[in-house]
A and B are shown apart, each in its own frame.
Chain A
Amino acid sequence: MRIQRRHGFVVTLITSALVLAACSSAQIDVGKGLCRVIGDNAAATPAPITASGTSDLKIGVVTDVGTLDDRNFNQYSWEGATGAAASIGAPEPQAIVTQNESQYAANIQSFVDQNYDIIVTVGFAIGAATLEAATANPDIHFIGVDQFQANDPVGNYESLIYSEAQAGYLAGIIAASISKSGEVAGLGGANFIPPVVNYLRGFQNGVASVNADATVHIKYVTDSDLTLAFNDPAGGKSFADQFLAQNTDVDVLFQVAGKTGNGMLQAVEEAGIYGIGVDVDQWASTPDSAECIVTSAEKKLTSSVRTAIEEFAAGTVRDSNQFLGADTEMIGLAPYYQFADLITSEIQGKVDTAFDAMAGGTLDPCAPNACFTGDPDPGT
């Protein structure tokens, strides 16, 4: 009896020691074990904005399909609008959340009918409806996030285009620096969508700038089907699973495939390798994979929308197509959170140097490997 009790005590001791050991180690023991437990890394709350004057500009935001707090395009564009309104002293902006692609035009029209002064529309898909509304209502200022006017730009329509290649380049520097095997991958949704190709070719050039001997795999899910490319998380996970089974040395994966890519990040988590997100801070937007997300190649939506509104309010006349990049700090990398100590000051130095060189125009992220040229990208 006594002995058994003592056994019990020893077992308890060992178990609790093991549990403690498990808790204190930040690594997660899955696959290659590169992922880390998320610490207390809540995103910093932005400083309160003080109004620099008063303005009676009425600002409306028409979102893309989804919700206003999607931790993605809608939310960050909206925060740009509210931030701008606060800083110029305008009334609180209003938002219409689009529920269905067929409502784009009607939602814009509803702000037009209420005599709004600035209408912000969010996302590539709403671009055509925005162009139409801008042409019909020359007195209203339109701001289109992630949009581009290929033909004769309209004066009262400012479309914000981000340099994906520059953001991808920075992600490539991180990938090459943290990879232990020297083998990294960029997986894209479709090889004929310019932003996707630009991100990935920039990524490839960024990797090469740090480690010329590194192997960069660039693969695309599809060359035809947009649903498979951007809206099929289960298919994306299968694709990445298969890619990682066939390339077992790859230990950093950069996804550029929308919601299909969210499935790729799940595969990254199961493989226990480093993941890099795209467009927004995916550590925040896909919390289920955050343990493996080192950073994201980010478009600074909030500050670009805010700047566009503030500049308009100040009476500045800007180009209709706004090409946004490092020079205006409109692209960059998301915070590293639990991986902060992985990114040494040496790595950060390389990122900063490249960022400054791209801002100064002395570094082309589309060289030596060219970005989108008009033809589908064959990958590498």
Chain B
Amino acid sequence: MDALFDIPIIGLVVQFAVYLFDQFPIVAPIIAAAAVPIVLGALCGFMNERSGVVNIGIEGMMLLAAFTAWWTASLSAQLIPTGPGPLGITPALLIGLACGIGAACLASLLHAWLSISVRADQIISGTIINIFAFGITGYLNLLISQQAPPAAGQFSKFLLPGSITQLPVVGFLVKSFVSVGPIAMTMLIGVIVLQVLLFRSRWGLRTRAVGEHPRAAETVGIDVVRLRYRNVILGGVFAGLAGAYLTIEFGNAFQSGMTNGRGFIALAALIFGRWTPIGAFGAAFLFAASVGLERSIRIAPPTGSLGELLTAVPGQFYGALPYLITIVVLAGVVGRSIPPKAVGLPYEREKTGG
């Protein structure tokens, strides 16, 4: 092995492969946990963009949901103090989750109304939601932190016996995707269900039609406006889950501006994943993995010449990696990523007789 490591360049590549192979099983569950809000955010974007509505307000919707879920859960925990059931589920957390989703859906309704009914610029509408969410959650957080109720706790992981999570080869996969909390579980289900529905169901066909060529869809009797409304609001559910995940599953506290760009990364994942749920899922994992790699290099740098090389690379490089990859994909270097044709275009019904 050592002889192999010493070959110039190839040796480094081999060392890197060994390092990744060594680190991945340990880091995979953490990468998976970090990817959940990005995947859920991307599913929100998917619901919007596939039906022809650009949504750059995912970040704001997530932030609203994060705050609302945390706050309402804390309030209800004082009214209904119950011990946690399986998966750490308490009535208070469920109320928080529902309210978080509700808040994101309300923001989605606003976005739908502005971009579908009012036919405003969809980028502006999304920007409004982002700015509004940042301001209102920051302000309310300041107000209520005067008498902050104790946090309601958080959903906990589905714990499996060590004999399963320590299985060779599949153990870490089980730990990453099965031994997780309830919201993380909905992510995997959401990805699979949406992927199947998009290409195998009537709803999927209609959604694709509305996103590609709404006029043609209308002529075969699809109510474009209604379908867009429905999809945009349903998309809010996923943004709500993403936000609630941050404050009542992954963590247990709210911090002003805590989504920290995850909504935008979700959008990049959607684009990188070519507007499909599975693609966005893979992209989000790649993004989370590049952050995980940076952390691994900080926490447990590889030894030898590879270690010297990797630690010499500035940390910013690893942080920028997801965006570099997205640019490469958008530039069409690694296959083209083509958006739905009608995305961003407000739809106006043809005048009768016209």
Partner of A242, one of B30, B250, B255, B257: B30
Who on chain A is nearest to B246 by CB? A234
Number of A-B contacts (CB under 8 A): 88
Which residues 303-340 of B have a CB within 8 angstroms of A?
A: 314-316, 319
Contact A238 B33, beta carbon cutoff 8 Å: yes
Find A239's partner among B145, B150, B295 (CB 8 Å cutoff). B295
Residue-wise interface mask of B (214-255) relative to A, using a CB-CB cutoff of 8 A (1 in contact, 0 not): 000000000000000000000000000000001000111101
Establish whether residues B146 and A233, one from each chain, have CB atoms under 8 Å apart when the complex forms. no
Q: Is B251 touching A246 in the complex (CB atoms < 8 A)?
A: no
In the complex, A232→B145 CA distance in Å?
A: 18
Which of chain B's residues have a CB closer than 8 A to the CB of A232?
258, 260
8 A Cβ contacts from A222-239 to B: 222-225, 227-228, 231-235, 237-239
Q: Which one of A64-72, A111-119, A140-148, A303-311 is at the B interface?
A: A64-72
* Chain A nearest Cβ from B87, distance in angstroms: 14
| Chain A residues within 8 Å of B251, by CB | 233-234, 237, 263, 266
Cross-interface CB contact of A245 among B29, B142, B145, B314, cutoff 8 Å = B29
Decide if B150 touches A288 in the complex (CB within 8 Å). Answer: yes
Interface string of B187-216 (1 = CB under 8 A from A): 000000000000000000000000000000
User: Is the pair B145, A67 in contact by a Cβ cutoff of 8 Å?
Assistant: yes
A240-283 interface bits toward B, Cβ cutoff 8 Å, 1 = contact, 0 = none: 01110111000000000001001100100000000000000000
Taking a contact as CB atoms under 8 Å apart, the answer to whether A224 and B315 are in contact is yes
B278 partner residues in chain A, CB cutoff 8 A: none
Determine which residue in A228, A266, A288 has the highest number of CB atoms from chain B within 10 A of its CB, and name it. A288
Q: Does B174 contact A (CB under 8 A)?
A: no
Q: Are A234 and B250 in contact (CB under 8 A)?
A: yes
Cβ contact within 8 Å between B319 and A225: yes
**How distant is A35 from chain B, measured CB to nearest CB, in Å?**
14
Using a CB-CB cutoff of 8 Å, which residues 279-308 of chain B contact chain A? 291-292, 295-296, 298-300
In the bound complex, residues from chain A placing their C-beta under 8 Å from that of B23 are: 246
Residue pair B246, A246 in contact (C-beta under 8 Å) = no
CB distance from B137 to the nearest CB of A (A): 14
Most A-side CB within 10 Å, residue of B26, B246, B253, B316: B253
Contact residue among B29, B255, B298 (Cβ-Cβ distance under 8 Å from A231): B255
B109 within 8 A of A: no
**CA–CA, A266 and B250, complex, Å:** 9
B300 neighbours in A (Cβ, 8 Å): 246-247
B252 and A288 contact, CB distance less than 8 A: yes
Which residues of the other chain, A, contact B315 by a CB distance below 8 angstroms?
Answer: 222-224
Size category, B interface: 20 to 34
Chain B residue with the shortest CB-CB distance to A263: B251
Say yes or no for A321: interface residue by CB 8 A criterion.
no
Is B95 part of the binding interface, using a Cβ–Cβ cutoff of 8 Å? no
Expressed in whole angstroms, the minimum distance between the Cβ of A327 and any Cβ of chain B is 35
**CB-based contact B298/A245 at 8 Å:** no
Do B26 and A245 have beta carbons less than 8 Å apart?
yes
Could you tell me which residues of chain B, from 20 to 77, have a CB within 8 Å of some CB in chain A?
Answer: 23, 26-27, 29-30, 33-34, 37
The answer to whether the Cβ of A286 comes within 8 Å of any Cβ in the partner chain is: yes
Q: In this complex, what residue of A is CB-closest to B27?
A: A242
B151 touches A (CB below 8 Å) = yes
Say whether A300 faces chain B, with CB atoms less than 8 Å apart: no
Measured between alpha carbons, how far is A334 from B175 in the docked complex, in Å? 37
Most buried by A among B30, B33, B150, B314: B30
Question: Cβ of A233 and Cβ of B30 under 8 Å apart?
Answer: no
Q: Return the 5 tightest CB-CB contacts between A and B, nearest first.
A: A242-B30, A288-B151, A223-B315, A241-B30, A246-B300
Known A231-B260, A233-B253, A245-B27; 19 more pairs at CB < 8 Å:
A66-B145, A221-B298, A224-B316, A224-B319, A225-B316, A227-B260, A232-B258, A233-B258, A234-B251, A234-B260, A237-B251, A238-B34, A238-B295, A242-B295, A245-B29, A246-B299, A286-B253, A288-B150, A288-B151
* Pairs A–B under 8 Å by Cβ, sample size 13: A66-B145, A222-B319, A223-B315, A224-B314, A234-B34, A241-B30, A241-B33, A242-B27, A242-B295, A245-B26, A262-B255, A288-B150, A288-B253
Please give the residue numbers on chain A whose beta carbons come within 8 Å of chain B beta carbons, in ascending order: 66-67, 69-70, 99, 219-225, 227-228, 231-235, 237-239, 241-243, 245-247, 259, 262-263, 266, 286-288, 379
